[in-house]
Amino acid sequence: MSATLPRLTELIAPASWRRVDFISDLHLHATDEATFRAWQQYLSRTSTDAVFMLGDLFEAWVGDDAALEFPASFEARCAEVLRGAARRMPLFFMHGNRDFLVGSDFLGHCETQFLQDPTVLAFASERWLLTHGDALCLADTDYQQFRQQVRDPAWQQAFLARPLAQRQHIARELREQSQQVQRAAETYADVDAAAACEWLDAAQAGSMIHGHTHRPAVHELEQGRQRWVLSDWDCSAAAPRSQVLRLECANGQTTLRRIAPASA
């Protein structure tokens, strides 16, 4: 299987921006208060010029009505966090493999900007390719077939037409199936290096930033290019995980570094 070269969207950062943050794979859900609180505190305190959320902010998303029509819901709590942060700095949201049904109604309510996958960020005279990363995990053929199905507008329209309770039940079943597959797998599919290079060539970018694989690292690619992988967040784990990737420009030089949310 090969990854289709995508239609690229470009975002030109304002000249005033000096630092931007990237996070992904927080998998926020109502039974993990620790991760929710860490995310809430990070967004309320960070001094960055913009935050890019590159997919799987939520563990599951079954429709914007879960947040907009139920003010006491966990989804509504998340919306208020985003609204508050968006009044301080620009927020950008990209779909992941678990929250691809987040829609314009929710993002508009949260004053959060939608980010196409992939997007080229032009920042400090350099180009950075941003993606969630799941479309590049070509070895996981079962997932790629599932992804093609659920990203179809007709499938999404039919799913969203179901009652909310039924959608929530389906989401729980899919989550359980996914966890069973992960437990049974000896290894997890990773981003295909050749496909990543093709995307970078098309974007005329030297570095890719993505999540999805939960394997935070810097991978060296051909011709000096790099693939920066974001960490997932799980503050309820025995070894809590939460990490922000910060891109900063100072004195004409750009740097990427990983920082703890508390120091952001």
Tens-of-pLDDT digits for all 264 residues of the chain?
556 778 899 999 999 999 999 999 999 999 999 999 999 999 999 999 999 999 999 999 999 999 999 999 999 999 999 999 999 999 999 999 999 999 999 999 999 999 999 999 999 999 999 999 999 999 999 999 999 999 999 999 999 999 999 999 999 998 888 777 666 555 678 999 999 999 999 999 999 999 999 999 999 999 999 999 999 999 999 999 999 999 999 988 999 999 988 767
The CA distance from 31 to 215, in Å, is 24
How many angstroms separate the CA atoms of 119 and 130, rounded?
5
Q: What was the pLDDT predicted at 65?
A: 97
Contact present, 38 and 242 (Cβ < 8 Å): yes
Query: In 3D, which of 3, 33, 74, 69 has the Cα closest to residue 234?
Result: 33
Using CA atoms, how far apart are residues 133 and 197, in angstroms rounded to an integer?
13
H-helix or E-strand spanning residue 158: helix 153-160
β 19-23/244-250 pair status: antiparallel
Buried b / exposed e across 118-128, counting CB within 10 Å, b at 16+? bbbbebbeeeb
Cα 57 to Cα 69: distance, rounded to the nearest angstrom: 20
- Collapsing DSSP to helix, strand or coil, 241 comes out as strand
Phi, psi of 110 (to 5 degrees): -90, -5
DSSP-based three-state secondary structure for 98: coil
Distance between first and last Cα of the chain: 40
Give the pair of three-digit tokens for residue 217.
């690292």
For residues 79 and 110, is the Cβ–Cβ distance under 8 A?
Answer: yes
Residue 6 has a pLDDT of 81
**pLDDT for the residue 1:** 54
- The pLDDT value given to residue 223: 93
Residue showing tokens 């960055």: 48
Q: What is the pLDDT of residue 180?
A: 73
Contact residues for 127 (Cβ-Cβ < 8 A; gap 6+): 120, 121, 203, 204, 205, 206
The tokens describing 245, both together, are 């990737």
**Angle at 137 (CA atoms; ends 132, 142), nearest 5 degrees:** 115
Domains of the chain from N-terminus onward: 9-263 (3.60.21.10)
Helix (H) or strand (E) holding 218: strand 217-220
Measured CA distances, 66 to 72, 109, 160, 238 (Å): 10, 13, 11, 30
83-95 burial: b if 16+ Cβ within 10 Å, else e: eebbeebbbbbbb
Contact 49, 78 (CB under 8 A): no
pLDDT score recorded for residue 183:
61
What is the reported pLDDT for 4? 74
Whole-angstrom distance, CA of residue 110 vs CA of residue 94: 14
